[in-house]
Structure 1
Amino acid sequence: MNQQLQDRLNQIPDKILTEEFLKSQGLGNEIGFWIFDYAPEDELQVRDHLRFLENFLAKKHSHLKVVNINLLQAMRDYLDQRNFTDKAIQMQKAKGDQALLKALSGPLHMDKFAPFLLEHCRADEYDIVLITGVGSVWPVLRAHNLLNKLHALLGHKPLVLFYPGYYSGQSLALFNRIPSNNYYRAFKLVP
């Protein structure tokens, strides 16, 4: 177990239960988007802690409604709904990964997927939105594209993206190796 990571994970409840976090206050007119970054090799520890966190919040803070959106499951639901899953599998087998990525770029464009994501998960009914599974959907979905689109759709609802990589406060590096476009609008949840 990574003790340094566990110490950071243990700080999450204190952070997300503050009035400032829940009302997105004190952020200089920025939207309440937060990123909890961690080393990719700690993915399983983070998943375990998220299950603990959800149970803790449900028992001790039942007045708060929290949704954990797993991007892999949401993407699969979206493709199933559009009857594209079987076609995508066949395309990947027949034409390879690059052809599949190109074919999915239209259906999974953020102008289509982000609204589906919020509607499908009924995000407007929750006080806090947690997003997980970023590493599982790469390179089909990119975190910075999703966050950019969600800004316009979520308003001031607090969102925490659990990110297997590094967030400098200005840019993302998935798996600590794959640089992303600069992204300036989120805050580190726990340093």
Structure 2
Amino acid sequence: METLQERFATLERRLFVENFLDEQRTIIPNFLFAYHGEQEAHVNQGVQKILIKSKEHEKKIVEVNLFDVFTTLFAEELEDVFILAESEGLEMLLDAVEPTLNDSDSLVEAFNNLSKDSDVVLLTGVGTAYPIIHTNGLLKRLATSGHSKPIIVFYPGTFNGTQLKLFDRYEVVEDEYQIYVIA
């Protein structure tokens, strides 16, 4: 099994040397970089290194934090959202934000505002946004909206080819969209 450092070297090679993403002919270019939650700080450093290298290679790669998608979506009501979470709890918050999160146009628009005119999106913050926003929900909505930019999801958990397990605890069956392990 490769170390995290070796996997980041593979990812960098695919992004900057091999043009791996340019050669992919998948209809929906969603890629996965799964890791153990305790490696979060090292993963964040690896993502920052990729962003710096992307400028050297003149590639438009941006990081989008999934929790930032949530805060962008609820920017005008953010203070009220946090007050609701504190006073009524997570379950009430989830009930309150669900209609907006289920509105594909709003969620896709918030994501697109953060991803700008990038060629590749590095999606981070998956664990931070859970259980408010689920990765699979965002990716499904992006796919149905015609989004075709490659997205590399940095996922704190494991993937066995058909199921993602967030934090190695929560199982999510991934049969609604395509995702490929990139490194």
Q: Do the two structures share a fold, i.e. TM-score over 0.5?
A: yes
CA distance in 1, matches of 2:62, 2:156: 19
Q: Which residue, out of 30, 54, 59, partners 1:33? A: 30
**Offset of residue 74 of structure 1:** 2.5
TM-score norm. by structure 2 comes to 0.89
Deviates more, 1:144-153 or 1:12-21: 12-21
Encode CA deviations 1:108-139: one digit per residue, 9 max, x unaligned: 2251443223331254x221111110000000
Call closer, same or farther: CA 1:41–1:99 in 2, change over 3 Å: same
Alignment-derived partner of residue 44 in structure 1: 41
4+ residue stretches of structure 1 with deviation over 6 A? none
Say which SS state the counterpart of residue 185 (structure 1) adopts.
coil
1:136–1:122 Cα change, 3 Å: closer
- Comparing 125-134 with 110-119, which one deviates more in the overlay? 110-119
Q: Distance in 2 between matches of 1:38 and 1:146?
A: 20
* Equivalence map 1:1-191=2 (5 Å): 4-17=3-16, 18-25=18-25, 27=26, 30-59=27-56, 61-62=57-58, 64-80=59-75, 83-109=76-102, 111-123=104-116, 125-183=117-175, 185-190=178-183
- The percentage of counterpart residues that share the same residue type is 23
- Give unpaired runs (5+ residues) of structure 1: none
SS state of the match for residue 157, structure 1? coil
Which runs of 5 or more residues in structure 2 are unaligned? none
Displacement, 1:91? 1.6
Is residue 69–residue 130 contact of structure 1 (8 Å, CA) maintained in 2? yes
Q: CA RMSD in A?
A: 1.9
Asked if 2 retains the 8 angstrom alpha-carbon contact of 1:23 and 1:157, the reply is no
